Amino acid sequence: MNPRSFSLATFFLATVLSASISPPAASESAGDASLGMRLYRDGIRADGSPARATVQDGVALPGAKSGCVNCHRPSGFGSSEGGFYVPPITAPILFEPRRLDRNRLFPNMFEQAQPKGYQARLRQPHMRPGYTEDSLSRALASGIDAAGQPLDPIMPRYVLSDADVANLTAFLRGLSVTPDPGVTAKDLHLATIISADAPASERAAALATMEAYGDWANKRTSGYAGRERYSPYHHSDFADAYRLWRLHVWELRGPRETWRSQLDRFYSEQPVFAVIGGLVSGPFDDVADFCDASRLPCLFPNTDLPRTRNADQGYTFYFSRGLELEGEGLAAFLADAEAKPNAILEIVGSGPSATRPAAAFEHVLRTRRPQARLSVQPLSSVADVRSLSAKIGGEIDTVMIWPGETDDETIVALLAALPKTARILLPSSRTALARDRLTEEQAARVLLAHPHELPGVEHPLSYRVRAWMRTRKLDILEPRLQLQTYYALSLFDAGFGHLNTDFFRDYVIELIEHESEKDMNPGLFPTLTLGPGQRFASGGIYVVRLDPMAKDGVSAVSGWIVP
Amino acid sequence: MRIRSNSLHVGANRQALYLVSALLLPLSGEAFAEPHHHHIHGANIREAAYSSYRAPAVTLTDMNGELVQLDRFLSENRPTLVEFFFTSCTTICPVMASTLSSARREMASLRDDFRILSISIDPEHDTPARLRDYAQNFDQDSRWRLLTGGRRDIDRVLDAFDARYAGADKMNHQPYVFLRAGPDRPWLRIEGVISGQQLVAAYAKVLDEADPQSKPK
């Protein structure tokens, strides 16, 4: 069961126990909300068969795509895509008469480029009474809404039993009813997670950026809220939606096995609505598991070891798949290169920062270039280097090194021991070593993964972001980290702003997915883009060679590789 | 280089998009779900018109990793349908794919050597493996090719078919189907989520206009 369906189940259980579900009408049958959830999310009926859905004059939808979640989304707040407005079907909206709410529709009406039919639908919706189980049954079977008017042809018609409808009704009665924790009447509580061994300058830079942004956000909204009825761009209309940002730093100390209980304790002491940025050494998996279990959006931690298993539809968003992506990208590069490799030596240092990209590299290489002979050797010390160089035959044409936690000195010694005809591949983390510590002869044979935008390619937004930082007297000592942190904050800000007063985490996740391409990339990556269920905003790498004449000492030998 | 927002036919900004949208009459009353007398729910067609487009000489990759040089592929003498999609699209793309799947037998009975190209506008995410996973949802055959490629190449194809979307943001993509009977014929550009019957009718129409004497097989 993927993390989000599990957490929806726990969410449902929580709401069952609360008093704030819209009460079912006396005539409603007692449906099973967990079966209703399965219908909503997976399109599976009570009897286990896939729901039969037809759209547009009888076109059958595949079972996997016929669940309500596809258009109405996990939060039930609907979506705007492809020129279609999909309305919300959360409990407070579905089971009540339709109310015209300009605030909720403000982004759709005024901030999106949508065709005429979409705009008409927003401004002249069908008014209708609240749905009941009966009228819901009719709507699903024949596409007639609660006011007797036809639903849009793109809304599927379903063949469902009475039990299915009862189950679905029971589930919908609990859908997005109680706002999620972390938002109070005045405050929005946010956290950032930093492990105690994070380098001091990085920690300081990340926190300073977050504090500066939070201060700025609070001044901004205080300004809007203070100008009732004559604010620019109607900002005072949203007075009920503004909250003051309160940032909490959750510092993880001690062994990794204790992190989960530390996080649970931090959360129970101060529930937060989302986790932003952060610096955690080593794999992010433990934190990602906590985010999924707590249904907590964790936005763009600064990590190169994300949890890539079961990541889609989960609660953590990442810039990229990090070191695994570098492994896949380098293997794809080799497989597609003109000079194809025939005998590859892969040297794997210690720790997940070596073993994970190595596994990814091997997998892609074996799939795409099965003809190549691949030999994998561990490396952890200078003694290993000497024994390796005794083993290496002369025919190796490519050496892939994953240093992991191995120190630079050992890597330099290793490189000196390698055959002088082999090209050498290294991850992006050792670019400085490659640039500064190699002989000219070695440097000519080195290729590096480069999972970022190329040096010298400027994105306009980066100027504005750096200017923003300077006006706030924020030293830019860790530019990459600070721009990444800024991106996480600004994307969250945009998503949260569009919630209006619907403080639901699933909804903010959907908005973040939706907002991601709106020109907020400060240029660290060629593209940052998401989509429904996507969790990795950048999907590729360049491969670069060392080039002393080029900016930052590297220049591309490939296009953008999406492995 | 920033990609500026598209407009359907002219210019390059949102005001133009709204203006042009305002000039388009919605063709189907059912688009607004108004009460209607006949029982078939019409699909959401917004516009249908002929245009000439030239595919760029770009090489895309299909779901099996095979390379497809687009201009050469489209110079083959057969009917072709082109549409744009992405695998994580939730609203219109599965509907379009299902519609294409449902219409193909009737289309084949008119002329069976057609091809359908579904081109991803999210190449960062849509690898050949993702295209395969997506395709498995739909009952389809080898006439249907799903394509991905480099971002710039995909953008060139979007440009060529005048199918750019506002802000270069794929969430703003609009439903288009481009259909023609052969390389010497203009493309029928249909905007909207076409129904199965309408697709078959449009296919019959472009075939008939290309060769009025021929009978269906």
What's the pLDDT at A154? 92
What's the pLDDT at A132? 97
CB contacts < 8 A, A to B, total 167
- Choose the mutation target among A57, A69, A126, A538 for the interface with B, i.e. most B CBs under 10 Å: A57
Counted residue by residue, chain A has a size of 563
- Choose the mutation target among A40, A42, A56 for the interface with B, i.e. most B CBs under 10 Å: A56
Q: What is the pLDDT of residues B170-192, one digit of tens each?
A: 988 999 999 999 999 999 999 99
Whether A533 sits inside 8 A of B88 (CB atoms) is: yes
Give the nearest chain A residue to B94 (CA atoms): A65
SS3 A183: strand
Backbone phi and psi for residue A133, each to the nearest 5 degrees, phi listed first? -60, -40
pLDDT at B41 over 50: no
Cβ–Cβ under 8 Å, residues A5 and A41? yes
- B25 Cβ contact list (under 8 Å, min separation 6): none
What's the pLDDT at A116? 84
Whether B175 sits inside 8 A of A82 (CB atoms) is: yes
Tokens 């190549």 sit at which residue? A372
- B125 Cβ contact list (under 8 Å, min separation 6): A529, A531, A534, A536, A539, B86, B87, B88
Whether A153 sits inside 8 A of B30 (CB atoms) is: yes
pLDDT at B37 over 80: no
What's the pLDDT at B33? 35
β-bridge partners, B192: B45
- Residue A25: DSSP 8-state: P
Query: Chain B residues with CB inside 8 Å of A560's CB?
Result: 150-151
Nearest-by-Cβ selection for B92 from A84, A519, A559: A84
Query: Chain B residues with CB inside 8 Å of A533's CB?
Result: 88
Q: b vs e for A373-398, b when ≥16 Cβ sit within 10 Å of the residue's Cβ?
A: ebeeeebbeeebbeebeeebeeebbb
Whether B171 sits inside 8 A of A517 (CB atoms) is: yes
Cβ–Cβ under 8 Å, residues A238 and A103? yes
Whether A113 sits inside 8 A of B166 (CB atoms) is: yes
Give the nearest chain A residue to B148 (CA atoms): A562
- Of A203 and B36, the structure prediction assigns the larger pLDDT to A203
Q: What is the pLDDT of residues B67-126, one digit of tens each?
A: 999 999 999 999 999 999 999 998 999 999 999 999 999 999 999 999 999 999 999 999
Element (H, E) at A373: strand A373-378
Among A474, A492, A480, A472, CA closest to A455: A480
Give the nearest chain B residue to A512 (CA atoms): B171
CA atoms within 13 A on the CB side of A541: 25
Whether B172 sits inside 8 A of A143 (CB atoms) is: no
How far apart CA A12 and CA A27 sit, in angstroms, is: 22
Is the sign of the CA dihedral A70, A75, A76, A78 positive or negative? negative
Query: Chain A residues with CB inside 8 Å of B93's CB?
Result: 82
Residue B26 to chain A, least CA–CA distance (Å): 7
List helix spans (H) across A54-115: 69-72, 91-94, 102-110
- Residue A425: DSSP 8-state: E
**Alpha carbon distances (Å) from A262 to A102, A272, A280, A301:** 42, 15, 14, 18
- Residue A412: DSSP 8-state: H
Question: For B13-38, what is the mean pLDDT?
Answer: 37
Query: Chain B residues with CB inside 8 Å of A55's CB?
Result: 95, 98
What's the pLDDT at A381? 73
Give the nearest chain A residue to B171 (CA atoms): A81
Residue type at A502 in one-letter notation:
D
SS3 A224: helix
How far apart CA A53 and CA A67 sit, in angstroms, is: 9
How far apart CA A165 and CA A187 sit, in angstroms, is: 39
- Specify whether the backbone of A109 is left (phi greater than 0), alpha (psi in -120 to 50) or beta: alpha
Q: What is the pLDDT of residues B135-164, one digit of tens each?
A: 999 998 999 999 999 999 999 999 999 999
How far apart CA B4 and CA A113 sit, in angstroms, is: 13
Cβ–Cβ under 8 Å, residues A306 and A537? no
Residue A149 to chain B, least CA–CA distance (Å): 6
- B28 Cβ contact list (under 8 Å, min separation 6): B42, B43, B44, B45, B192
How far apart CA A81 and CA B173 sit, in angstroms, is: 7
Cβ–Cβ under 8 Å, residues B69 and B209? no
Question: For B7-31, what is the mean pLDDT?
Answer: 39
Residue B18 to chain A, least CA–CA distance (Å): 7
What's the pLDDT at A386? 76
How far apart CA B128 and CA A328 sit, in angstroms, is: 14
What's the pLDDT at A468? 96
**Alpha carbon distances (Å) from A332 to A353, A365, A454:** 19, 7, 19
Secondary structure of chain B as H, E, C letters:
CCCCCCCCCCCCCHHHHHHHHHHCCCCCHHHHCCCCCCCCCCCEEEEEEEECCCCCCCEEEECCCCEEEHHHHCCCCCCEEEEEECCCCCCHHHHHHHHHHHHHHHHHHHCCCCEEEEEECCCCCCCHHHHHHHHCCCCCCCCEEEEECCHHHHHHHHHHCCCCCHHHCHHHCCCEEEEECCCCCCEEEEEEECCHHHHHHHHHHHHHHHCCCCCCC
**Alpha carbon distances (Å) from A445 to A6, A44, A312, A361, A397:** 49, 55, 37, 19, 11
What's the pLDDT at A226? 75
Nearest-by-Cβ selection for B44 from A112, A154, A532: A154
Cβ–Cβ under 8 Å, residues B198 and B43? yes
Whether A517 sits inside 8 A of B170 (CB atoms) is: yes
Whether A529 sits inside 8 A of B170 (CB atoms) is: yes
What's the pLDDT at A383? 78
How far apart CA B213 and CA B140 sit, in angstroms, is: 30
Least confident span in A85-94, A190-199, B3-12, B42-51: B3-12
Is the sign of the CA dihedral A53, A59, A61, A62 positive or negative? positive
What's the pLDDT at A418? 87
Q: b vs e for A73-112, b when ≥16 Cβ sit within 10 Å of the residue's Cβ?
A: bbbbbbbbbbbbbbbbbbbbbbbeebeeeeebbebbeeeb
Give the nearest chain A residue to B31 (CA atoms): A152
Residue A157 to chain B, least CA–CA distance (Å): 11
> How many beta carbons lie within 10 A of that of residue B73, not counting itself?
17
How far apart CA A126 and CA A133 sit, in angstroms, is: 19
pLDDT tier for residue B169 given thresholds of 50, 70 and 90: confident
How far apart CA A44 and CA A41 sit, in angstroms, is: 8
**Alpha carbon distances (Å) from B30 to A56, A61, A117, A151, B37:** 11, 20, 11, 9, 10
What's the pLDDT at A270? 97
- pLDDT in tens for each of the 563 residues of chain A? 444 544 444 444 444 444 445 566 656 678 999 999 999 999 999 999 999 999 987 899 999 999 999 999 999 999 988 888 999 999 999 999 999 888 888 888 888 888 888 898 888 888 999 999 999 999 999 999 999 999 999 999 999 999 999 999 999 999 999 999 999 999 999 999 999 999 999 999 999 999 999 999 999 988 887 776 666 767 778 888 999 999 999 999 999 999 999 999 999 999 999 999 999 999 999 999 999 999 999 999 999 999 999 999 999 999 999 999 999 999 999 999 999 999 999 999 999 999 999 999 999 999 999 999 999 999 877 777 777 777 776 688 999 999 999 999 999 999 988 888 889 999 999 999 999 999 999 999 999 999 999 999 989 999 999 999 999 999 999 999 999 999 999 999 999 999 999 999 999 999 999 988 777 888 999 999 999 999 999 999 999 999 999 999 999 999 999 99
